[in-house]
Structure 1
Amino acid sequence: MQRVSVDIGGTFTDCFLVWGDDYVSAKALTTHQNLALGFNAALGQAFEEVGVSLEEVMREVDSVRYATTLGTNALIERRGPAVGLITTAGFESSIPLSRGRGYGEGLSDRYRKDLPMAERPAPIVPIPMIAGVRERMSERGEVIMTLDEDDVRAQVRTLVDRGAQAFVVSLVNSVVNPAHELRVEELIRSEYPEHMLGSAPIILAHLVAGRKGEYARTSSAILDAFLHKAMYLGLSTLELNLRENGHERPMQVVHNSGGMAQLNSTDALQTIHSGPVAGIGASEHLAAETDLGNIVCSDMGGTSFDIGLVVEGGVKFYDFNPVIDRWMVNIPMVHLVTLGAGGGSIARYDRLRRTVAVGPESAGSDPGPACYDKGGREATVTDADLLLGYLEPDNYAGGRIALSEKRAAAMFKRNVAKPLGIDEIAAAKLVKQKIDHDMANGIAQELRARGYEPRQFTLLAYGGNGALHACGIANAIGIEKVLVPPFSSIFSAVGAGNMDQLHIHERSLYLQIYDSVTRALLDDFDAFNAIVEGLEARGRADLQRQGYADGDIEHRLELDMRYGNQLAQTAVVVGRNRITSSAELLELIELFGRDYGKRFGEGSQAPEAGIRVNTIRVASYVRTPKLQFKKVLPAADRLRPAPEPVERRACHFVDHDGPVETGFYRLEDLEPAMLVTGPAVVVSESMTFLVEPGWRLAIGDYGAGWLERVDTNSGERP
């Protein structure tokens, strides 16, 4: 296997190179002005370690997989074309009204509740750029009013005169019958062919989002149109960069649905949050191979902290209506929660509460934390970790970034310690405690909102700062076991390299599979299977267009199910792709009840309210070769003490008043199954393990680490 995968974050660009039996990880600072520069820098480190040239790597690798923040950056900067929206007459105000909640979506709870100061985001499509056309479909897809084609032509001309550079067509109930949307596209192209308007994109809402919900579906299409140009130009530039270096195969782009596809089969909206989703995909693969059971994924990078769940039993967690930036959308996105908590999170004095506050603002990669000595004037979490003794100033990031302890201390003294009336070390402890508790609270809220308790889960800690703060998070939340996965500092890039070719298509509907009033089960299996078959056909066409043979294509059926009109909805992975009998339907109902009981407690199932399917979803995919993680966990019968540390230094810990003598180890000196008892610090080129007092670390293969809580009096597990 020869493969390159890359994940661009707000601070670092992570690269993972698989070259035969060699697995190489590399990091470089993200170059926001030209993402290809950071990619080339990271890849350069990787191929130098393997001992081959860039041209040879690019010529021989079977694929380059790319998770990008281009779309996120474009939204933040509001870089995009003027978008014109064509909708059903009478529904022109759906987007401006935004369900009466647009002022708060995408904001923290604190600002969402501040109604007097509420401000809506600047609209991507202002009211003058919204046009209504005369037509109407019923909720069953029946034509109530025939499309007025002359009206369409007139409205399109008006939008063009007002400067429209991209079109969104979102008509009511088009997910049931898209005939009118398709005809509007034909009319636009007939009025303004490409030689007149150029490559103005025309986005049909029913192709972007297959579920009902006019506002969220239209928002999805608007964002897709707005990001189309930036994504096309940015990704095309990246693909050109690959071509110039000898890579002739199509570039693969990671999707937030949990898979990847070629650039020509990727919508702009599908790339948002693709990096964190790749990490969740890698976590799912690791959990399946190592029998970890339930895991909570935590990715702590330089800018953010991402949380995801992987649960036994085939339960899939999607955001049904995720919020991207300030807009609710309606696409199948793997569920994740993002907090403004990372190594670059800025620490400051909170005058109102007279304590320390951390994040969500970040110092990013330029200028970065104060200790980077690049002009940063804010105290950050990384500065706190340095002051507490966990980081080696001359050996950070493999020695490529020299840290200035003096600069970190000066910024901490000015911005945090002096206003609090304490010294820099005490202030750094407060920052460490605050950031760990913020991340732990985020995990606890996510788990308990879905009916789980933290003790039922193993914490999977990855990202550049995951191993450094894992024990602190686990202490705050009460988790007993933590796994730092192999290549944890670039684990999302590893996940990008392990993804399958995948396309997801879904259909929104109201399907009562058990009617509690008549006590009747669904019996029209042909209609149900016809919908599934249609979704499979769309996925098959997507993959065939990318050159995959029909025999390599597989399909996975998922149903969004609920009891009656409950809000709690569960995505159930069905073990078969067709339902042909009442016995098979009862198996599905039993599976749903079992998953529901695990989440909300056995006995909470409510079949007396009826059982509904709200969405039919088909994932069409082609399996690709994957890395094997079966030997990651250290064998319990082989555990043995690690040798003496290379040095001992004083470190400071939250629950200890004074400095604590701490052993420092080099990861390359430790063999699998060796045990390191805290307090200890294990340093590698790309990350730092912090083994806090009361914990021990067992080394696994590929730099993995198994952290367990121990009894500090006896040194044994409780």
Structure 2
Amino acid sequence: MLDRTEQGGCRVGIDIGGTFTDLVVVNSKGETFTKKVSSTADNYARAIIEGLAGVLDPAGLTLNQITEFLHGTTVGSNTILELKGARIGLITTKGFRDVLEIRNLRMPKLYDLRWDKPAPLVERYLRLGINERIDAAGNVTIPLARADIEAAVERLLAEKVEGIAVCLLNSYANPVHERMVAETIRKMAPDLPISVSSDILPQMKEYERTSTTVVNAYIMPIVASYLKNLGDTLKSQGMKAPILLMQSNGGLTTAQEASEKPVNIVESGPAAGVVGAVRRAVECGHHNIISFDMGGTTAKASVAEEGKFVLSQQYSVGGGIMISSRLLTGGGYLLAVPAIDVAEVGAGGGSIVWIDAAGSMQIGPESAGANPGPLCYDRGGDRPTVTDANVLLGYINPHYLVGGELKLNAARSHQFYEELLAKPLGIDVTTAAYGARQIAISNMIRAIKAVSSERGRDPRNFTLFALGGNGALFAAGMAQELGIKTIMVPPSAGLFSAYGLLYADVEHYYTETMRDLLRDVSPQAWQTGWQSLEDRAREQLRADGFGEDEVEIQRFASMRYKGQTFEISIPIPNGALTPERVLEIEDTFGAEHERTYGHRASFDEPVQLISIQVAGLAARNQTQKPGKPQRHDGDLHTEQQPRKAYFGREHGWLETAILPRTALTAPRRGPCIIEEYDTTCVVPPEATARLDDKHNIIITLD
């Protein structure tokens, strides 16, 4: 791993979204340079190469001066959403091959008779059971014959599978049989990708472990190929720096580790935005925030308390809404790996606005993406989008998007909104556009509630941190509906997921199942288990090139009341585990249970320990963080001529001031619109905007 402080070098953060690819470069002096280019869905690496040329040249830098290449990517999630993963087989215990279809009997739509479960990622004839059995204590009750393994592997190879997932019953307690299967596969097909559950997720719960292992196998060849091609291309052009990937849990990992365990980078992009938002907010004195990230395809929300984001132990992908809500599960493919608690809905700038069979207006989840994009992009799109609504309402300047690089055709937006929405609904174009905006706000509020009120948090007690290309466009409308009083919009908000990469640390997570009543657990056994996981974390971080003084170890434990189905993970302070400390941990669990679910059990109700986890974190001692971004050629320098914008029936069309961010050195009463290279910020009549000492826009609502 190269030294991040190498003289004259630079750090690069690149985030690929559904519509745009964002690039941020920080040189050795802390000077920050940014670039936004359209994503190239056919080959994401092409946008990265083109974007790097556009951001490094103005900074006077070259590829060989990059000391750290940090990357957030949608390759994993898109592979699942589009069902374009590898053709894989599954080897499991005889009698358990239908676990993927039985699932855990959770349904996201209880009263929708037309709802169908997502199709398993492995077809049934490619799911093979072998005769073996290990009990819950790890004892072998039915030995595994190597001939059975060879027969199963031969059958899958005959079907030309591109990878194999291995998940045997109770392997978390004793992986000996899974090791035999993996060894046999490697002998018979040395180059075939393998995902083994005792390596991917050594935890109890059969469906969760099987689903996570299968998803890993399903996306592994695609992610590995993408990272290899990207690395080879950059290396051929002179880059020597390692590629580090953002994980779903908010930490960085190596390209090699991400290629072998891509299940950990599925929610890479959303995690980067949250990390950046939390670190930036804490720097500016805001310790409790709701990050609201709205891009071109989706909108995402997450909560951070006391300067720390919340980790969820599992989430679903591909159920229409990617959401970790305990109240809405079963709609997608389950991943039981640590991830920042992000709720995501299909409501972005490019989301399609349409009329359903009942004559009601709907938003998304289908998106126009980057190509053809919204109607106003004038690239052949023929369906109205949320961005078109913002153009028609006067919020977006048709002559000023991405610093003026993207010219918009507002007349085209008006034509299609009138033909496809306004006339069929019997309303005018303005009402149709404002209605589309309000429906989008309503949909996105669901995401914020999923991580706040559904978690026992009152959103009125938080600052709304707006990021993403469209976050500041909608933040005030969201805050008004939720009763939030303060909004924070950072510099370069539209590229903030790329910024988040530059704030992140390298992280590795390790877990071990310990299924005992908390009061019966031997403190010595507990301490021994944690020490073993800590040793693994330190060993991996040393291999990553970090010194002992750059490493931090954090402990967690997952617990539940005996008889419950789901557990809660809580942080455990370092130090010796005495009986008194165990009782304190139990009390901490009870407090978190009450905050999450609204109640806690009495002292007589036993608490059950399910698993222990360790997070190994590391960061260079003198890593250069982003500074104030440079101005773009397209940035506004002075206040512009006002234009009319629509603020609902109460206010109608109002003359609205058009400002650069620098004009907010003195508080400015709305309505006004702040236009920038990467985002547009709308300040309604009931609000006041100002700049703080870190150049953040602070909007205060009446």
Identify if the C-alpha distance between structure 1 residues 689 and 429 changes in structure 2 by more than 3 Å, giving closer, same or farther. Answer: same
Correspondence for 2:232:
240
Using the alignment, how far apart are the partners of 2:498 and 2:625 within structure 1?
15
Change (3 A) 1:93 1:592: closer
* Aligned residue among 1, 15, 22 for 1:14: 22
Determine if contact 1:299/1:306 at 8 Å carries over to the other structure: yes
Deviation at 1:677, TM superposition (A): 1.2
Residues 600 and 167 (structure 1 numbering): CA distance in 2 closer, same or farther, change over 3 Å? closer
> Structure 1 residues 391, 702: CA separation in 2 closer, same or farther (over 3 Å shift)?
farther
> 2: distance between equivalents of 1:709 and 1:233?
48
**In the alignment, is the contact (CA less than 8 A) between 1:452 and 1:600 conserved in 2?**
no
Work out the CA distance in 2 between the residues paired with 1:499 and 1:471.
28
Residue in structure 2 matched with residue 346 of structure 1 by the alignment: 352
What secondary structure, in the 3-state scheme, does the structure 2 residue paired with 1:13 have? strand
1:691 pairs with 2:674: no
Shift of 1:145: 1.8
Q: Does 1:435 align with 2:435?
A: no
* 1:618 paired residue number: 614
Q: Are the equivalent residues in 1 in contact too, given 2:186–2:192 (CA < 8 A)? A: no
Tell whether the 8 Å contact from 2:309 to 2:340 is kept in structure 1 after alignment. no
Residue 540 of structure 1 and its aligned partner are, at CA, apart by 2.7
Whole-Å Cα distance in 2 between the matches of residues 683 and 286 of structure 1?
Answer: 21
Query: Take 1:460 and 1:313, find their aligned partners in 2: how far apart are those partners?
Result: 13
Q: Of 26, 42, 51, which aligns to 1:33?
A: 42
1:318 aligns with 2:305: no
Matched letter for residue 408 of structure 2 = L
Select between 4-13 and 247-256 the one with higher mean Cα deviation.
247-256
What secondary structure sits across from 1:399 in the alignment? coil
Within the alignment, does 1:286 sit opposite 2:286 as a pair?
Answer: no
User: What are the superposed Cα offsets for residues 504-527 of structure 1, whole Å, 9 maximum, x if unpaired?
Assistant: 1112332322xxxxxxx3461121
Question: What SS does structure 1 have at the residue aligned with 2:648?
Answer: coil
User: Would you say 1:487 and 2:492 are equivalent positions?
Assistant: yes
Deviates more, 1:221-230 or 1:151-160: 151-160
The within-5 A match list for 1:224-373 is: 224-266=216-258, 267-312=261-306, 316-324=310-318, 326-352=332-358, 354-373=359-378
In the TM superposition, 1:460-609 aligns within 5 A as 460-513=465-518, 521-522=519-520, 524-566=522-564, 569-576=567-574, 578-599=575-596, 604=600, 606-609=602-605
Choose 586-595 or 86-95, whichever is displaced more.
Answer: 586-595
Change in 2 beyond 3 A, CA 1:286/1:590? farther
Q: How does 1:130-169 map to 2 (within 5 A)?
A: 130-169=127-166
Moved more, 474-483 or 440-449: 440-449
Secondary structure of the corresponding residue to residue 378 of structure 1 = coil
Superposition deviation, residue 315 in structure 1: 7.3
Q: Against the structure 1 CA distance between its residues 164 and 391, is the aligned structure 2 distance closer, same or farther, given a 3 Å change threshold?
A: closer
Distance 1:121 1:318 in 2: 22
Matching residue's letter, 1:129: L
Q: Deviations over 1:294-324 (max 9, x none)?
A: 2111110000001111122867331435345
| 2:183 equivalent to 1:178 | no
In structure 2, relative to structure 1, the CA distance for the partners of 1:286 and 1:596 (3 Å cut) is: farther
Structure 1 residue matching 2:517: 3-state secondary structure: strand
Which SS does the other structure have where 1:24 is aligned?
strand
**What amino acid sits opposite 2:34 in the alignment?**
S
The alpha carbon displacement at 1:240 in A equals: 1.5
Structure 2 residue 388 is matched with structure 1 residue 379: no
Q: Residue 301 of structure 2 aligns to a residue in which SS? A: strand
Residues in 2 aligned to 1:164 and 1:612: alpha-carbon distance in whole angstroms: 41
1:296 touches 1:459 (CA, 8 Å); kept in 2?
Answer: yes
CA distance change for structure 1 residues 80 and 631 in 2, over 3 Å: closer, same or farther?
A: closer
Partner of 1:84: 89
For residues 68-147 of structure 1, the aligned pairs below 5 Å read: 68-100=73-105, 109=108, 113-115=111-113, 117-147=114-144
Pairing partner for 2:452 from 447, 450, 459: 447
Could you tell which deviates more after superposition, 84-93 or 382-391? 84-93
> Quick one: distance in 2 between partners of 1:378 and 1:600?
42
Match of 2:648 in 1: 654
Cα displacement (A) at 1:617:
1.1
2:185 maps to which residue? 188
Any idea what SS the aligned residue of 1:619 has? strand
Q: 8 Å contact 2:352–2:385 — kept in the other structure?
A: yes
- Give the distance between the partners of 1:631 and 1:11, measured in 2 at CA: 25
Greater Cα offset, 280-289 or 137-146? 280-289
SS in 1 for 2:604: helix
User: TM-score, normalization: structure 2?
Assistant: 0.90
CA distance in 2, matches of 1:313, 1:600: 22
- Rounded Cα–Cα distance in structure 2 between residues aligned with 1:132 and 1:644: 70
Question: % of aligned pairs identical?
Answer: 30
Which residue of 644, 655, 670 corresponds with 2:663? 670
Return the offset for 1:541. 3.2
Q: Which residue of 2 aligns with 1:636?
A: none
Which secondary structure does the structure 2 equivalent of 1:114 belong to? coil
Q: State the distance in 1 between where 2:32 and 2:692 align.
A: 15
CA distance 1:533–1:237, change in 2 (3 Å): same
CA distance in 2, matches of 1:424, 1:546: 57
Which amino acid is the alignment partner of residue 280 of structure 2? L
Aligned amino acid, residue 541 of structure 2: L
| TM-score, structure 1 as length reference | 0.88
Q: Structure 2: which amino acid aligns with 1:670?
A: A
Are the structure 2 counterparts of residues 646 and 491 from structure 1 closer, same or farther at C-alpha, using a change threshold of 3 Å?
same
Provide closer, same or farther for how the CA distance between residues 498 and 229 of structure 1 changes in structure 2, counting only shifts above 3 A.
same
Structure 1 residues 289 and 560 mapped into 2: Cα distance closer, same or farther (>3 Å)?
farther
RMSD: 2.5
Deviation at 1:333, TM superposition (A): 2.0
Q: Provide the secondary structure at the position in 2 that maps to 1:586.
A: helix
Separation in 2 of the partners of 1:327 and 1:143? 31
Deviation at 1:9, TM superposition (A): 0.6
Query: Aligned pair 1:414/2:410, yes or no?
Result: no
8 Å contact from structure 2 (residues 502, 625) kept in 1? no
Separation (CA, whole Å) in 2 of partners of 1:666 and 1:315:
31
Q: Which runs of 5+ in 1 are unaligned?
A: 514-520, 633-642, 711-718
1:665 deviates by 0.6
Q: Secondary structure at the match of 1:252?
A: strand
SS at match of 2:609: strand
Deviation, structure 1 residue 281: 1.5
